[in-house]
Amino acid sequence: MIYLKSRDEIEHMRKSGGILRDCLLFLEERVKPGVSTKRLDEFAYEYIVRHDSKPSFLGYGGFPGTICASVDDVVVHGFPSDKRLKEGEILSIDCGLIFKGWQADAARTVAVGEISEEKRALIDVTRESFFEGVKHFKAGGRLGDISHAVQTYCESRGYGVVRSMVGHGIGREMHEDPSVPNFGKEGHGIRLEEGLVLAIEPMITLGTWETTGTGWTCVTKDGKPAAHYENTVALTEHGAEILTL
């Protein structure tokens, strides 16, 4: 069941999105060698609560953190821990919050100190592929147009597109219909219309697209690094509007 949002409802989601955007900027500034992801998680919790919001991940299906903190080959859903970040690693921070009943969900992959050229390129291509997808988030198009754009942008450059995790609709619930895969066919899937709000979130790897793991764990099968870039995006009368940027 897809819930289209009214202009008023999107206005609420714009506010939730703005808080999350600023929270992620606040966290990104604090990513450096020697910091534990547990500490970043505490920063996120404090930030969200201070802005009259609620962390949406904490306790979701038993998840133990305010953020997902996924280092290097961990694709998504990494648990915050006492382990300290090391120079050269990449950290994906995924965070969600609820403000006055409306959800926002977004993720960034951040360099820990100096990183290799290939990790830098992975982060860049992942972010760029999101914007390629958003170009196709327009009334009259099909959901598959977004998926296809993300997939071809990444695969044509030799990167892997994760299949086991996908984006989603978002609103009063964090995960609503429809599912938004980062792979698919143009001209297929539901028709895109005003009022749709989606979390579009490419998860891209330096090697194989295959992942492994049980429970929460999602790591690349070949141990190569993965990056994640996500925003909550609304389709309004003026076109696609990124609410968490």
Footprint on this chain of Mg ion (rule: CB under 5 A): 94, 105, 107, 199, 230
134 DSSP assignment: H
The backbone torsions φ and ψ at residue 43, rounded to the nearest 5 degrees and listed phi first, read: -60, -45
- Nearest approach in angstroms of CB 173 to Mg ion is 11
Of residues 94 and 176, the one with the C-beta less far from Mg ion: 94
Per-residue burial over 171-198, b = 16 or more CB atoms within 10 Å of its CB, e = otherwise: beebbbebebbbbbeeeebeebebbbbb
- Nearest approach in angstroms of CB 228 to Mg ion is 8
- Nearest approach in angstroms of CB 70 to Mg ion is 11
Give the number of C-alpha atoms closer than 13 A to the C-alpha of residue 149, restricted to the C-beta side.
21
Of residues 84 and 127, the one with the C-beta less far from Mg ion: 127
Of residues 103 and 205, the one with the C-beta less far from Mg ion: 103
Hey, what's the torsion of the CAs at 223, 114, 26, 147, to 10 degrees? Answer: -40
Cβ contact 77:120 at 8 Å: no
- Nearest approach in angstroms of CB 116 to Mg ion is 25
Of residues 192 and 199, the one with the C-beta less far from Mg ion: 199
Per-residue burial over 85-111, b = 16 or more CB atoms within 10 Å of its CB, e = otherwise: beeebbbbbbbbbbbeebbbbbbbbbb
Of residues 88 and 242, the one with the C-beta less far from Mg ion: 242
Of residues 116 and 164, the one with the C-beta less far from Mg ion: 164
Report H helices in 3-116: 7-28, 37-50
Residue 175, C-beta contacts closer than 8 angstroms, at least 6 positions apart: 168, 169
Of residues 105 and 132, the one with the C-beta less far from Mg ion: 105
- Nearest approach in angstroms of CB 57 to Mg ion is 8
- Nearest approach in angstroms of CB 34 to Mg ion is 26
- Nearest approach in angstroms of CB 230 to Mg ion is 5
Spatial separation of the C-alpha atoms in residues 101 and 43, rounded to whole Å: 22
